[in-house]
Each structure stands twice: as C-alpha cells, then as structure tokens.
Amino acid sequence: MRTLIIIVLVLVVAIGGAVLYLAVTTPKSAEQVRLPLSSSRRQLLAHVPGHAESFALIPSAALLHETLLANPVTRDPIVQWTDEHELPRPWMLGAGSIVAWKSGKTTSYAIRLDGFRALLVRAWLLVASNADARWEGSTLIMHSPLPETGASPAKIELEPLLRLANGLPEGDVLVVQRESARGAFPPIGRPAVSSVRITASEITLVSRAASNDVREQRQIRASFPRSAMLSAAFATSPRIIGDLNRLFGARIDSLIDEGGSLALYGVDTGTLLPRPRGVISFPADEEGRKQLAEVRQVAELVGETRDAGAQLLVSFDRTSMGLYIKDTFVPGTWPATQWALRMDPKPLVPILRKAGDNAGLRFATPRIHRAARDLRRWIDALEQARTVEAADSIGGGVEELRVRVASK
C-alpha cells in the first residue's frame, strides 16, 4: 500500500511539474516578425524546399491560434483549417515557431520546439497520430516527402525575397508568394511579400511586390461616403471598370481615365445582368466636361448628372444621387497613388455570392465575374467583418498594398 501511495505521489508531482513547466514557458505575448530576420528564423526558413510556391513564417504559433479564434473574421477558417490538417495541438507548441509552405496541393510544415515539448509531440505522434512526420533535431517536419536517395534537395533563395520585404512593418506572420504562386490575393505582382498583424478586432496586411512602373505618381487622398456598400477612388481607370460599360450602356471607364471615384449603393439582381446603383465622381475640368457631354444623354434617360463645383457627378439610376448628396464622408486611412477603397461587407457579401453564380456576368463582364468568384473562399468570413479598407501605391520600384479588415 505504501508503495502504491509513493507511486501515485510521484506521478502527481511529475504531472504537476510538467503542467507548471508548460505554463511558465508559454509566452504571454506574441513575438513579432522583425526584419532583418534573426539567424534562428533563417535556419527555420532553410527547411522550405526550392519547389515551394509560397510559404509563411509564424514566430508564436500557439498565441496566434488563440487570437485567430478570438477574431470573428478568422474564427471559422482557422477551425476548418485545424480540422483538415493534422498538426500538434496548440498547447504542445508553447513558444514554438512554424514555417508552412505549399507546393501543388500539399501543405508542409517545419515546427521548432523546445526539448520537453518535442518529447510530448513524439508521444502524441506515437499514440494519437498517423501523420507523415520526421525529426531533424528538435524540429518536426510534417507532410514533406524526403528527396530521392542521393539527391540533394534544392534550397529556396531567400535573399531576393527578404530584400523585397525591407520596409514592411512588424507582424504576426510573414507570407511570401513566389513567381509560381497562384491566388487572387494580394492583387499585385509576384513574388509578393506580406506582413500580417492580427488582433481580436482587426486584421492588417501590408504587401509588397516589385514594380516596373516608373511614371510620375499622383497621390490620392480618398474620402468615402459612409453609407455606400462599396466606394473606390482611382488615379486612372482600372481594367475592371471597363466591364461596367456593358452594365450601364455607356463609356463609364472614360469618365475616370484621369482619376475619379465610384460609390455603389446597391445592385439590382433581378435582371439577366445585375445593374449597379451608384454615383461616379470625377474632376470638373475641361476633359471631364467633355466626357460628361458624351454620356449625359444616356445617363439622364435613367438617372441624372450634377455639377458639384470641383466635381462632376453621374448616376445611372434615380435614387443614388440623392443618397450621395446627403451622405457623410470618411477620410481614407492611407494615401494611395493607384487606388483606394472601402466596403461594408454585410450588404455586399450576398451580392457577391449571386454574382459568382451569374451566367450573364460570366460572358458579358468576365473581369467582374472572376473577381466575385475569387472572393468566394473568403465570403463567409468577410460577412463577419464591419469594414474593409485598402490602398495601393507605387513608388521607388515597389508596389505596396495595405488592407485593414475591422471585425464587428
């Protein structure tokens, strides 16, 4: 009996010591990605193979997991991700760092752990997991096949990518998408490097890519109508605006060739081609008045035009102009040289769902249809957001995109 009591006490002390160690060695605040990267971060990134299309560095994976669960926008996606990908539980990670990379349809991981947690994860792998895993010291490599016998794995060239990241703010995650990477976000060139900062109420992303655009850039200081579901300001008309010509029956893109803005208040989805309801604003200069004269007749058949002094306004419906005139305006968070936008996801998300399934849009306005389709993966999550704001700029041979997603 005494022997049994001693064994139980030893087990209790051992378990209590393990729990205490886990509690003491679990950080209370997340470590940020800082540039230039430390030697330990570079060593972890050295596990990324040369064929990886994209990869992400997460210095404090366990704490980031908690934050992702606390944010309404990221909660469901992270739950789905953890359900679909077999990984050590967050409490096993402590201060552990993760590098994840994608090649084709496979996502692989390198997880750096302290000695005690490595022991726990080894036990988990033996008892509760059939994951494809191997160890390189205290670093766990998961779902990454070994190269053929005798072959030397190609290593990724980090330096050009890290030079591109110079100037990025500190973040919880550093994401790199290489030339071969596919995906709608960020809507800039490849390779692209992004710093992601996440709190319980906000997600901020800053992405950078090299740019060959050497033209003189004109700064946009956008002011967004508060009640519009989507508003955007442009330095020049983007290609996607050309698709609106078919929806409005007029040369919309020509109105903002030299800069302007668009405020969307609604979309009539009861027709073969959805018809936007909104207001286009552009400078009241000589060129602007010339472009207005070309569309005035069409516009005033279904909507109205106004001279607001410094700006000319055009609407292709009977209700949006009044809403725009009475609206209050919110200044943009960041200046931009290419474009800036603000959107209210709650009314916009249902329209995007319908647009992605609209056969008429697919043939008549392929760019708009493709943009709506690309958003489908994030639509459910975005419905939990209060506002989304973005600004895109070019300067010094670099294109920089800033995005902020504010949660409810």
Q: What are phi and psi of 36, to 5 degrees?
A: -70, 155
Burial class of residue 11 (count of CB atoms within 10 Å of its CB; 0-12, 13-18, 19+): exposed
Looking only at the bridges linking them, the beta strands covering 311-315 and 192-198 are: unpaired
Tokens matching residue 405: 């997603």
The contacts of residue 352 (CB under 8 Å, 6+ apart) are 372, 375, 376, 379
- Report pTM: 0.85
Please state the domain extents for the chain. 30-209, 223-407
Tokens matching residue 61: 């994976």
Condensed to tens digits (0 to 9), the pLDDT of residues 51-99 reads 899 999 999 888 899 999 999 999 988 888 888 888 888 878 878 899 9
Task: Spell out the alpha helix ranges (H) of 285-374.
Answer: 286-302, 320-326, 345-356, 359-364, 366-374
Check residue 364 and give its pLDDT: 59
Burial class of residue 272 (count of CB atoms within 10 Å of its CB; 0-12, 13-18, 19+): exposed
Using CA atoms, how far residue 187 sits from 56, 330, 391, 402, in Å, is 18, 24, 11, 11
Tokens matching residue 157: 């060239």
Name the amino acid, one letter, at 295. Answer: V
Percent of the chain with pLDDT over 90: 30
Q: List the helix and strand counts (H, then E) for the chain.
A: 15, 18
Local structure of 381: helix, strand or coil: helix
Average pLDDT score over the chain = 81
Condensed to tens digits (0 to 9), the pLDDT of residues 283-329 reads 888 888 888 888 888 778 888 989 888 899 988 889 999 999 999 99
- 14-18, 51-55, 121-125, 265-269: the lowest-pLDDT one: 14-18
